[in-house]
Amino acid sequence: MRRFNYRFVLGSVGLVLTIEAIFMILSAFIGHYYNEDAVTSIYISAIITFLSGLAFLLLGRKKSHQANNITKREVYITVTMVWLMLALFGTLPYIISDAIPSFANAFFESMCGFTTTGSSTLINVEAFPKSLHFWRSFTQWIGGIGIIIFVISFIPVFGGLSGQFYDAEATGIAEDTFRPRIKEVSKTMALTYVALTLTGFLFLWAGPMDAFEAACHSFSSISTGGFSTRQLSIASFNSPYIEYVITLLMFFGGTNFLLISALFAKLSTSIFKNEEFRWYVSLILVFTVVISVALLATGQMSHIEETFRTVLFQVVAAITTTGFATDNFLSWGPFYWMLFLVMILFCGCEGSTSGGMKISRLIVLSKNSLLVFKRQVHPNALYMVKMNNKVISNDTIAKVIAFVFLYLVLTVFSAAILSLTGMTFDESISVALSSISNYGFGLGSYGPVGTFESTTMFSKYFLSFLMLVGRLEIFTLLSLFVPGFWKR
């Protein structure tokens, strides 16, 4: 009977922690530049993280007979542990520097970072040390796809299977032909991710932002995270140029990075033929036009360009699950609230940094529902669900339906739990959906101008759990609660 390969788990966690320590040191350099006291705390955090990672690596040293003894059980546990440990050690700079003295708040902030959720407990963002601002934004960049790509590339060191690891982390509908070349694909995605980040930094720096703020916002824009260095988020800059640049960065963050790479590196037009991308663009345009026309018609806004820019920014931020805002859309009215809740359900494309259920699943559900009606009329006809001219198997369709069902059930169940903590109905349902979709905003007190500082300690830990469920493939984390999963 096969034993559980704990060495693989420990070694993988150790590898990630050593990488995290290096990223912490980069944040310390910012503290040196601005001569901040927090720099010492970051160095201490980096040392603790590195030594802990080294200890895990030593405990997880590979034995030759264990090299290929890896199943989905080890992979699923590894993925979950990696994200938990990233968030746990990510709290150290906040705690040791006393910038966020509450562990619950620090853990919540760290989990919001690594899961690219725009929620926050900070009530005076401008007073936060710049070195910790950089770390805070950096955690979102790491959590976007950076750490996933790195681990996929190097996980064979511990005898792991890259394809299984990808399946455990990525949401969407992966093709079988995609898995055998996962290492090659991960390198392409990494280069695209870095290139977009650098491009975004240069464009933002060319505007009203200084280099520091341009770096922080490029990290949180391309990762579709949403952390800002200003309390009023992007609205604080009062710059149409900045709003358009960040809108474009969020848009790219919600697009399949492989399609972006093919467009710019090979001048391929495959992105325009991709069905998911066309749906993605169409949804953004439809919601932007509908909301803009409604706001202009009701007199809530009057200037056409400003209305279009404001609505476009909010729509792209919602569909890509980026927690940025340039206006408090809650003041627009309940009709618009409902539209934004719909937008954060399916969100961006697979192979992107956005959260949510992914548009690919929306396409499959829509087409399958249409075929159900057709089969009612022509029961003997042979109909198949296709996407990008490829047949979607019944097994994949069944998984999509199960995924969406679990997603919605977990959202409703979580809303019921949150309502017991004192949240109103609209707050609990919106915060639950926002957290599992990695968006960041809710309704009521948790909208674009609110924070999560006042929520209960239980709520912060529970919402952190929802963020993790949403960031990973939902089956990955929920499988750990199935008794049969732990049987040999």
- pLDDT surpassing 60 at residue 63: no
- The answer to whether 356 touches 346, Cβ cutoff 8 Å, is yes
- The answer to whether 360 touches 388, Cβ cutoff 8 Å, is no
Q: Is residue 185 a part of any domain in this protein? A: no
pLDDT of residue 183: 67
Alpha-carbon distance 4 to 1, whole Å? 10
Tell me the average pLDDT across 275-299. 95
Could you give the 3-state DSSP secondary structure of residue 124? coil
pLDDT of residue 157: 46
Could you give the 3-state DSSP secondary structure of residue 86? helix
State pLDDT tens for residues 232-246.
899 999 999 999 999
Alpha-carbon distance 20 to 32, whole Å? 19
**Cβ contacts of 389-398, under 8 Å, gap ≥ 24:** 390/175, 392/173, 392/364, 392/367, 396/173, 396/364, 397/364, 397/368
- pLDDT surpassing 80 at residue 462: yes
- pLDDT surpassing 50 at residue 178: no
Averaged confidence pLDDT in the chain: 87
* Pick from 227-231, 344-348, 363-367: least confident: 344-348
State pLDDT tens for residues 67-90.
456 777 877 888 889 899 999 999
Alpha-carbon distance 89 to 56, whole Å? 14
Tell me the average pLDDT across 191-202. 94
* Pick from 303-317, 360-374, 469-483: least confident: 469-483
- List helix spans (H) across 60-128: 72-90, 92-96, 103-114
Tell me the average pLDDT across 142-166. 57
Tell me the residue range of the domain where 415 lies. Answer: 395-486
pLDDT of residue 31: 92
pLDDT of residue 87: 95
Q: How many CB atoms lie within 10 A of CB 47?
A: 14
Q: Is residue 427 a part of any domain in this protein? A: yes
Confidence label for 177 from pLDDT (cuts 50, 70 and 90):
very low
Number of domains in the chain: 1
pLDDT of residue 161: 47
Alpha-carbon distance 90 to 82, whole Å? 12
Would you state the structure tokens that stand for residue 107, as one six-digit string? 């853990």
* Pick from 26-35, 133-142, 308-317, 468-477: least confident: 468-477
Within 13 A of 87's CA, how many CA atoms are on the CB side? 26
pLDDT of residue 214: 97
State the pTM of this model: 0.91
Q: What amino acid is encoded at 132 in this protein?
A: L
Query: Is the model more confident about 115 or about 350?
Result: 115
Confidence label for 169 from pLDDT (cuts 50, 70 and 90):
low
Tell me the average pLDDT across 127-142. 94
Q: Is residue 97 a part of any domain in this protein? A: no
Query: 3-state secondary structure string, 452-474?
Result: CCCCCHHHHHHHHHHHHHHHCCH
Tell me the average pLDDT across 41-60. 94
* Percent of the chain with pLDDT strictly greater than 90: 59
Would you state the structure tokens that stand for residue 271, as one six-digit string? 């992105």
Tell me the average pLDDT across 331-356. 89
Could you give the 3-state DSSP secondary structure of residue 91? coil
Q: Is residue 446 a part of any domain in this protein? A: yes
pLDDT of residue 158: 42
Q: Is residue 403 a part of any domain in this protein? A: yes
Instruction: Report how many helices (DSSP H) and strands (DSSP E) the chain contains, helices first.
Output: 21, 2
Alpha-carbon distance 111 to 140, whole Å? 9
Q: Is residue 378 a part of any domain in this protein? A: no
Alpha-carbon distance 461 to 322, whole Å? 21
Q: Which residues contact 14 (CB under 8 A, 6 or more apart)?
A: 52, 53, 54, 55, 56, 57, 58, 59, 60
- pLDDT surpassing 70 at residue 100: yes
Q: Which residues contact 285 (CB under 8 A, 6 or more apart)?
A: none
Q: Indicate if the alpha-carbon torsion angle 165, 170, 172, 174 is positive or negative.
A: negative
- pLDDT surpassing 90 at residue 54: yes
pLDDT of residue 187: 77
